[in-house]
Structure formats: structure tokens, C-alpha cells
């Protein structure tokens, strides 16, 4: 153990009972002391700079304080102390970050770091999250310190978001955005907990999601168009764009997949009486660029139904450019530019009203739902539906299980009738 006594009187340049004092040419005093490992150190400031003293008494008093801290086991090397204080200051600053600043850092992080599956998030996904932050979270929470966001604050925000009137259907009791906004908030707060900025995750349920387009009596089957209505939509949409209706309905493509389709993606048999369609890209509705399909399952091949072969061949021959990369749904006849999602939405909205019997605000995407429902009714398994539709999540495909069950009931009835007939014949022959 280090001796705790200190000589009360020394001459300049001579050793103290513990440590050393030396008068410098500048007339100031320098203090030096042995660290616990035996290294002789000079006095330094809290930011690890050389420290000298105006008087010898000041230098000796400083040595006494250092000696006491070593004896109590509280001393740490000056460089380590500086690093520790820097960390503590950084942690304190992080704990004092506002939601606006932290949300911006989170958005930047998710745009450059892989997600749970190890893949980078698509730009459209990041853009969607940024929109929810900017439109619904930044104003009410922007200046709030993240560490102060608790269950009560999230519950109040949830209540306010749920109360926002729906733009699509004024007067309805839900708006369709509250659940999505709160989900993004929870993603940000979970990251804050992992970063040590927030002590605990607020315990607030995500608001229930309900369709804003329809009332409570609307059923999924209402979105299934009849073949006659699909034909009417094909006739209503002007050329060279009407083929998009058949691609969505009978090839079950998403809007971006339809708009991203190119001449080289249609592979014909030897006499062009049959074709295989390859989905390799999509026209991204958010970024306006050609990107990979929505998921790995989105990259797929499928047989083009015979009912639309003649029209597809006519489209390729008469309205699509000769280059392999020419869009199947061009902006103009034989053009080289892919149709933008916004322009297609305008065309669709202008011409769908010509078809009677469709639900209000009938979506282009509902044609895909129509095609997959008919595919299920023909006896397709869930795995076949997932492949045809390019679904990555079986939960999404389960919506077609009702159609599959209807087909199952029909097949069971037919089987029952054939068995009854066979049994009747067998008994009649006895």
C-alpha cells in the first residue's frame, strides 16, 4: 500500500515523501507522481493537457489529492479519464436527441443497412417510411426528446391519428393511415431502445386496419370482375394500352410488373400459338425507375392463357417497338419509354367509369385479384397460387382459400355423384 504521509517542507527539486515537485524556468511548479504500475507521470488537466501550478503549495495540494484517489482505488490514467468523459458526454447528448433528429438518422440508417432478411430495403420502402414520418410523426413529436416518449405520449398520438378524417371516404370512422404511421413510430422507438436512447418500449397497440375504400358490408368477392367486365375494360382503354387489362387479369400481374414488361419477356413457341411470360422487373411507382420485382418470389415465369394469345401477338406485332427492351405497354405506339405509374393511374381512372357494375373506385390491382380468384376456383393449390402471383407470404394467398374451398365443395359433390352412380349400377347388376 502507498504511504500516505507527505513531507511538509522540501527544497525545490528534491523528492517529496510521495511524488516530486520541481520549479520550472517559468517560475511555475511541476508535480510528478508514480502511477500504480510504477510509471512516473506529470500532472495533467482533465482534458489531458500539461498542468503546472503558480505556487509550490498548490502543486503539493494537487499531489495530495492524487495520492488519496490512488489509495482509494479511484484513480484512472489521464487518457482513460478523457476517453470516459467523452463517452459519457456522447451518451448524454444521445439521450437528449429530439425525435426529429433521431428519425432522420434512422431513415438514413435503414436506407444503407440490410434488414432482417440480410437484403437492403428497396428505395420505395424507405420513401414510404419517410413519408409517414414527415406526414404524421414529425409535427407532433419533432421537438420531443426521444427519452421522454412514453406510453402516454404514444397513446395520445394514436388517438389523434385515428381521429384524422379520411380523404378517400369522408364520414367513415377510420382513415387507413393511423395503423401504418404507428407501426413506423414503433420501428423507430425499438431502434432507440437498442441504441440506449430510450429506456423502455411504450406499450400501445397498433390501431386496427380497415379498408377505407369500402363500407363494412363489402366482401372481397365484390372486387372480382366478371369475364364480361374484363372484356368491357379492355375495350374501354385506348390503344396501345388496353393489353394491360388482360395482363393484370389473366396473367395476374401487378401494376408495376405490367408496366415493366418488355418484348424480350414474351417467349413464343415455334408457330406463335402459345407463349411464356417472364416477370423480371417492375416499373417502380415511387421512384419511377425499373427495379427488381417486389420480392424474390416476384421473379417468375407463367403460361399465357390461350384466351389472350391472339391479342398479345397483335400487341407485340403492331404496337410494340422492335428492340428487345421495348415496353409491352408503351407511352405511344412502338415507343421506347415505359409508361409511368401516375400516367397509367390517370388513364385507368378516366376509362374504368365506362364499365357498368364495377364497385366504386375499382382498382387496377383488383384485376389481379380477379385472375387469382379464378385460378383458385379451377383447383390451384396454395403453392400454385403463390407461384403464379409471385407471393412471398402465404398469409396473403390465404384470401383465395375461400375460392379454393368453393371449388373443393363442387369437386366433392361431383365425386359423390359419380360414386353414387357407380354403387347404383353395382347394386342393379346383382
Cell of 407: 371449388
Confirm whether pTM is higher than 0.85: no
Domain residue spans of the chain: 1-95, 127-194, 222-361
Q: Cβ contacts of residue 109 below 8 Å, gap of 6+?
A: 191
Q: Write out the chain's pLDDT in tens, 430 residues.
A: 343 344 333 344 455 778 999 999 999 999 999 999 889 999 998 888 899 999 999 999 999 999 999 999 999 998 888 888 888 777 766 678 999 999 999 999 999 988 777 788 888 889 999 999 999 999 999 999 999 999 999 999 999 998 887 665 565 666 578 889 999 999 999 999 998 889 899 998 888 766 655 555 555 566 789 999 999 999 999 999 999 999 999 999 999 999 999 999 999 999 999 999 999 999 988 788 999 887 888 899 999 999 999 999 999 999 999 999 999 999 999 999 999 999 999 999 999 999 998 887 889 999 999 999 888 888 888 888 888 998 888 877 877 777 766 766 776 777 888 888 888 888 887 7
pLDDT at 14: 53
pLDDT at 122: 82
pLDDT at 169: 57
Q: Which CATH architecture has domain 222-361?
A: Orthogonal Bundle (1.10)
Chain centre to alpha carbon of residue 400 = 25
The C-alpha angle with vertex 407 and arms to 406 and 410, in degrees rounded to 5, equals 90
pLDDT at 196: 86
pLDDT at 93: 67
pLDDT at 315: 97
Amino acid at each position: 500500500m502507498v504511504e500516505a504521509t507527505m513531507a511538509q517542507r522540501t527544497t525545490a527539486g528534491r523528492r517529496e515523501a510521495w511524488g516530486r515537485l520541481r520549479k520550472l524556468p517559468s517560475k511555475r511548479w511541476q508535480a510528478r507522481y508514480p502511477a500504480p504500475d510504477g510509471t512516473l507521470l506529470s500532472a495533467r488537466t482533465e482534458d489531458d493537457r500539461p498542468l503546472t501550478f503558480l505556487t509550490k503549495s498548490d502543486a503539493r495540494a494537487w499531489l495530495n489529492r492524487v495520492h488519496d484517489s490512488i489509495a482509494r482505488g479511484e484513480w484512472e490514467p489521464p487518457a482513460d479519464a478523457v476517453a470516459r468523459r467523452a463517452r459519457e458526454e456522447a451518451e448524454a447528448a444521445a439521450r437528449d436527441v429530439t425525435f426529429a433528429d433521431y428519425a432522420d438518422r434512422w431513415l438514413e440508417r435503414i436506407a444503407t443497412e440490410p434488414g432482417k432478411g440480410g437484403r437492403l430495403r428497396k428505395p420505395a420502402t424507405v420513401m414510404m417510411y419517410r413519408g409517414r414520418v414527415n406526414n404524421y410523426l414529425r409535427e407532433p413529436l419533432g421537438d420531443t426528446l426521444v427519452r421522454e416518449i412514453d406510453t402516454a405520449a404514444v397513446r395520445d398520438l394514436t388517438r389523434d391519428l385515428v381521429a384524422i378524417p379520411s380523404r378517400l371516404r369522408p364520414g367513415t370512422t377510420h382513415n387507413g393511415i393511423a395503423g401504418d404511421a404507428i407501426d413506423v413510430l414503433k420501428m423507430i422507438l425499438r431502434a432507440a431502445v437498442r441504441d440506449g436512447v430510450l429506456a423502455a418500449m411504450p406499450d400501445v397497440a397498433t390501431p386496427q386496419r380497415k379498408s377505407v375504400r369500402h363500407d363494412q358490408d363489402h366482401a372481397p368477392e365484390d372486387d372480382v370482375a366478371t369475364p364480361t367486365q374484363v372484356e368491357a375494360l379492355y375495350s374501354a382503354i385506348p390503344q396501345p394500352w388496353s393489353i394491360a387489362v388482360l395482363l393484370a387479369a389473366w396473367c395476374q400481374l401487378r401494376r408495376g410488373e405490367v408496366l415493366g414488361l418488355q418484348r424480350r419477356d414474351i417467349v413464343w413457341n415455334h408457330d406463335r400459338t402459345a407463349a411464356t411470360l417472364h416477370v423480371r422487373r417492375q416499373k417502380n411507382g415511387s421512384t419511377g425507375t425499373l427495379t427488381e420485382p417486389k420480392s424474390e418470389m416476384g421473379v417468375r415465369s407463367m403460361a399465357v392463357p390461350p384466351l389472350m394469345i391472339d391479342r398479345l401477338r397483335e400487341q407485340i406485332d403492331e404496337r410494340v417497338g422492335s428492340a428487345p427492351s421495348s415496353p409491352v405497354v408503351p407511352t405511344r405506339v412502338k415507343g421506347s419509354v415505359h409508361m409511368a405509374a401516375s400516367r397509367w393511374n390517370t388513364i385507368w381512372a378516366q376509362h374504368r367509369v365506362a364499365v357498368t357494375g364495377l364497385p366504386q373506385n375499382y382498382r387496377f390491382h383488383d384485376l389481379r385479384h380477379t385472375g387469382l380468384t379464378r385460378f383458385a376456383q379451377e383447383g390451384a393449390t396454395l403453392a400454385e397460387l403463390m407461384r403464379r402471383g409471385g407471393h412471398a407470404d402465404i398469409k396473403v394467398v390465404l384470401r383465395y382459400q375461400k375460392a379454393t374451398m368453393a371449388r373443393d365443395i363442387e369437386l366433392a359433390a361431383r365425386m359423390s355423384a359419380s360414386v353414387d352412380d357407380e354403387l347404383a349400377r353395382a347394386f342393379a347388376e346383382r
